[in-house]
Amino acid sequence: RLLAVAPTFALLLAACGSLHYDLSSVPIPISAKPAEPGAHVDPLHIESKNVLWVHGLFGQSEPDVTALVTEAAAGYDRIAGFRVVQSGSFHDWLLTHLSATLVRMKTVRIEGQLVRDE
């Protein structure tokens, strides 16, 4: 009986768990490697929300990672140390449970280093 419940529980935990984005249209190079020591670097920190409405029946509101990165990178030559992380904060958990899981929310964090080559 427990084995029958496990897949359902796993699906509920994975809900709102994937984030789709394509960085090919960002006009500057992006790398997961950190910037070289001595490079002129500014931090990149962007937060947004990924929301699943009524178990996906009314859609999903995903952040436009490409547009957010393109806007933040204006005036820079490249992005280093790039990471996109999706996780649940206490406020996300609280909203999800107060709405009886009809609204599932996760926080999306885009982090990296904006580099100017001089």
Query: Using CA atoms, how far apart are residues 47 and 59, in angstroms rounded to an integer?
Result: 21
113 has a pLDDT exceeding 80:
yes
Cβ(105)–Cβ(92) below 8 Å = yes
Model confidence at 110, in pLDDT bands (50, 70, 90)? very high
Rounded to the nearest 10°, the torsion over CA 83, 71, 50, 53 is -160
pTM: 0.78
Query: Using CA atoms, how far apart are residues 56 and 69, in angstroms rounded to an integer?
Result: 26
The CATH number of the domain holding residue 67 is 3.30.110
Q: CA nearest 45: which of 77, 81, 95?
A: 81
How many domains does the chain fold into?
1
Domain housing 6: 2-116
pLDDT tens for 6-65 read: 555 555 555 456 788 899 999 999 999 999 998 999 999 999 999 988 877 788 899 999
